[in-house]
Amino acid sequence: MTPIDRPEPASGLARTPEPPYWAVIFSTRRNHQPGDQFDATDQRMMALAAQQPGYLGVETAFRDIGITVSYWADEASIAAWKRNADHAFAQYEGRTRWYDAYELRVARVERAHSFVREP
Amino acid sequence: MTPIDRPEPASGLARTPEPPYWAVIFSTRRNHQPGDQFDATDQRMMALAAQQPGYLGVETAFRDIGITVSYWADEASIAAWKRNADHAFAQYEGRTRWYDAYELRVARVERAHSFVREP
């Protein structure tokens, strides 16, 4: 797989522009099955999302639940990514194998504030 | 500390009402220091937030970064929670001790979709 030049800094926090922009908050409870290809597909989807028009960045964390927030320039970009064929298949796999439950929320970011500690 | 009756189901996913409502997406990179009281304060703030007017739920996960998304009925509820004195002190501690960097985004949830696997 060709390495993708990801816009995220090494910190794992997404560098997003001034609002307004859009966020897709995807919160999941996994159903772990051996050989379910989750990790490989997840990485492939993250790389593929980063190539889509309107993609602004992603942040992801897992503990008891997984939370992945992807950021987008507008609703049309989100709709196009949802319809992407590879992504649509991953969505199907998610419902049939990977997730016991999830919540997907589409939100318009109205305000944002960054903090970086002074060295 | 008195146990708080949290509205989240055991799954860790927040049960939120039909949109619109609001989300505060708080993405953090920790600066771990021994004895920094982070965990105790974090738990206390989660319990305190759950008691505020307009609170709808919270989802949280940590790996390389932390992501905590809290859900609120309206912007006024978010503003009131921000001004809460205990919370304001925790915010100060966050900037002086706990976080190397964070992004805080306030977003209006426009659409949401739930999935729960059939038994």
Task: Divide the 119 residues of chain A into consecutive groups of 10 and give the mean pLDDT of each group.
Answer: 44 93 97 88 96 97 94 98 96 94 97 91
Query: What per-residue confidence (pLDDT) applies to A101?
Result: 94
A95 Cβ contact list (under 8 Å, min separation 6): B115, B117
Beta strands in chain A (DSSP E): 21-30, 55-62, 66-72, 99-116
CB B27 within 8 A of CB B100: no
pLDDT at B10: 55
Mean pLDDT across chain B: 90
What does the alpha-carbon distance between residue B108 and residue B60 come to, in Å, rounded to a whole number? 18
Which residue in A31, A67, A105 is closest to B61 by CB distance? A67
Cβ–Cβ contact B46 with A under 8 A: no
Q: Which residues pair with B55 in a beta bridge?
A: B72
Residue B105 has its nearest CB partner, among A102, A103, A109, at A109
d(CA B65, CA A11): 8
Q: Which site among A25, A74, A78 would you substitute to test the B interface, given the most B Cβ atoms closer than 10 Å to its Cβ? A: A25
A contacts of B23 (beta carbons < 8 Å): 23, 25, 105, 107
Encode chain B (119 residues) as per-residue pLDDT tens digits: 334 444 445 578 999 999 999 999 999 999 888 888 999 999 999 999 999 999 999 999 998 899 999 999 999 999 999 999 999 999 999 999 999 999 999 999 999 999 998 87
pTM attached to this predicted model: 0.90
Task: Inform me whether the C-beta atom of residue A66 falls under 8 Å from chain B C-beta atoms.
Answer: yes
Contact B59, B15 (CB under 8 A): no
Confidence (pLDDT) at B3 = 41
Distance, CA of B109 to CA of B10 (rounded, Å):
23
Asked if B86 contacts A78 with a C-beta cutoff of 8 angstroms, the reply is no
Half-sphere CA count of B99, side-chain side, radius 13 A? 23
Q: How far is CA A71 from CA A89, B3, B6, B47, B105, in A?
A: 21, 36, 29, 29, 11
ipTM above 0.85, yes or no: yes
Q: Can you list the positions of beta strands (E) in B19-98?
A: 21-30, 55-62, 66-72
